[in-house]
């Protein structure tokens, strides 16, 4: 693992630990031992700390987390993958975002493929239990589950054939991005998916759980536990986020 000089003043990350794309960005920062300011921002809320509040929409009109802001330059960026690529470019983190055009091309390939494919893990299996307010139609949930299963087949038969990480012998941004979606479904977390048809994916999940920062980033899910039978209460979700924030606060994140 390599380290970098802490940014000064610290980079602001708007989000909450329960958000998958926020976890991907925070994991990269923890992996690189780079401190940041975590600005708690509730997804979808129009309240003061919400991603749909006019102040937040002025920064990111899509109203989504993660969004980052550099206090020294005022530079704002949204979309988890754009953020991770930017941070790698800025700090020279070429181990996880290689300079070689073909290797980088493969990472970019995965990061683009991820949307509407692996990302459907949340739409089909997690959001229906956690965000009851969204009333995700049954047909949409089923379609998302089918999309995820096809994507996992592609990971098992193509991306992970012959190499331990998604894009080769080295851990890359692709692995962080994919794990926050797929890993959340594991038996030790929400327990909502049977991975037995995908042995290479299972092996990769085990490898990823040994990557620096994994346990700290996943406190929120370890706290929430199995949701396969009973959807968690709002109280349980809030407590899990709180515990996660305490852990992250004790590490590299300043909480604001
Ligand atoms: N493509 C975006 C997706 C971000 C996203 O869906 N964030 C959710 C939380 S997990 C969000 O902010 N939802 C609030 C909303 O859409 O109102 C990324 O990768 O950053």
Q: What is the pLDDT of residues 1-17, one digit of tens each?
A: 345 544 468 999 999 99
Query: Residue 239 belongs to a domain with what CATH number?
Result: 3.40.30.10
Tell me, what's the pLDDT at 4? Answer: 52
User: Average pLDDT for residues 164-185, to the nearest whole number?
Assistant: 98
Full domain range(s) for residue 79 = 11-95+233-255
Q: Is 184 in the pocket of ligand 1 (CB under 6 A)?
A: no
End-to-end CA distance of the chain: 28
Q: Is 127 in the pocket of ligand 1 (CB under 6 A)?
A: no
**233: which residues sit within 8 A by CB, 6+ positions away?**
none
Considering the domain architecture, whether residues 114 and 199 belong to the same structural domain is answered as yes
Model confidence pLDDT, tens digit, residues 89-112: 999 999 999 999 999 999 999 999
Considering the domain architecture, whether residues 156 and 170 belong to the same structural domain is answered as yes
- Kindly report the protein residue whose alpha carbon is nearest to atom 11 of ligand 1: 64
Considering the domain architecture, whether residues 135 and 241 belong to the same structural domain is answered as no
Model confidence pLDDT, tens digit, residues 186-241: 999 999 999 999 999 999 999 999 999 999 999 999 999 999 999 999 899 989 99
Considering the domain architecture, whether residues 47 and 82 belong to the same structural domain is answered as yes
Residue 61 included in any domain: yes
Strand order in the sheet with 36-40: 76-78, 67-69, 11-15, 36-40, 253-255
- ∠ CA 148-115-45, rounded to 5°: 105
Residue 16 included in any domain: yes
Considering the domain architecture, whether residues 109 and 192 belong to the same structural domain is answered as yes
The four Cα atoms 100, 105, 110, 113 give a dihedral, to 10 degrees, of 170
- Kindly report the protein residue whose alpha carbon is nearest to atom 17 of ligand 1: 44
Share of the chain above pLDDT 70, in %: 96
Model confidence pLDDT, tens digit, residues 64-91: 999 999 999 999 999 999 999 999 999 9
Considering the domain architecture, whether residues 185 and 120 belong to the same structural domain is answered as yes
Considering the domain architecture, whether residues 82 and 156 belong to the same structural domain is answered as no
Q: Is 79 in the pocket of ligand 1 (CB under 6 A)?
A: yes
Residue 76 included in any domain: yes
Q: Is 42 in the pocket of ligand 1 (CB under 6 A)?
A: no
Q: Is 52 in the pocket of ligand 1 (CB under 6 A)?
A: yes
Query: Residue 148 belongs to a domain with what CATH number?
Result: 1.20.1050.10
Considering the domain architecture, whether residues 249 and 168 belong to the same structural domain is answered as no
Q: How many domains does the chain have?
A: 2
Beta pairing class for 253-255 and 76-78 = unpaired
């Amino acid at each position: 693992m390599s380290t970098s000089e802490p940014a000064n003043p610290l980079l602001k990350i708007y989000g909450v630990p329960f958000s998958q794309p926020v976890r991907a960005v925070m994991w990269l920062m923890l992996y690189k031992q780079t401190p940041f300011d975590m600005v708690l921002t509730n997804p979808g809320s129009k309240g003061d700390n919400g991603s749909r509040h006019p102040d937040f929409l002025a920064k990111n009109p899509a109203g989504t987390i993660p969004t980052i802001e550099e206090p020294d330059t005022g530079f704002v960026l949204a979309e988890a993958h754009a953020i991770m690529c930017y941070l790698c470019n800025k700090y020279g983190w070429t181990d996880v975002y290689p300079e070689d055009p073909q290797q980088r091309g493969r990472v970019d390939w995965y990061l683009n493929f991820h949307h509407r494919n692996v990302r459907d893990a949340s739409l089909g299996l997690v959001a229906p239990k956690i965000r009851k307010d969204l009333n995700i139609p049954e047909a949409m949930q089923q379609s998302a589950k089918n999309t995820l299963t096809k994507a996992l087949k592609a990971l098992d038969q193509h991306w992970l054939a012959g190499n331990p990480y998604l894009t080769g012998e080295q851990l890359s941004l692709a692995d962080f991005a994919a794990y926050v979606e797929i890993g959340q479904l594991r038996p030790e977390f929400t327990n909502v998916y049977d991975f037995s048809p995908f042995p290479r994916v299972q092996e990769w999940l085990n490898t990823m759980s040994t990557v620096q920062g994994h346990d700290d980033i996943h406190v929120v899910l370890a706290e929430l536990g199995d949701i396969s039978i009973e959807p968690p209460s709002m109280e349980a979700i809030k407590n899990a986020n709180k515990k996660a924030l305490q852990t992250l606060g004790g590490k590299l994140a300043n909480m604001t």
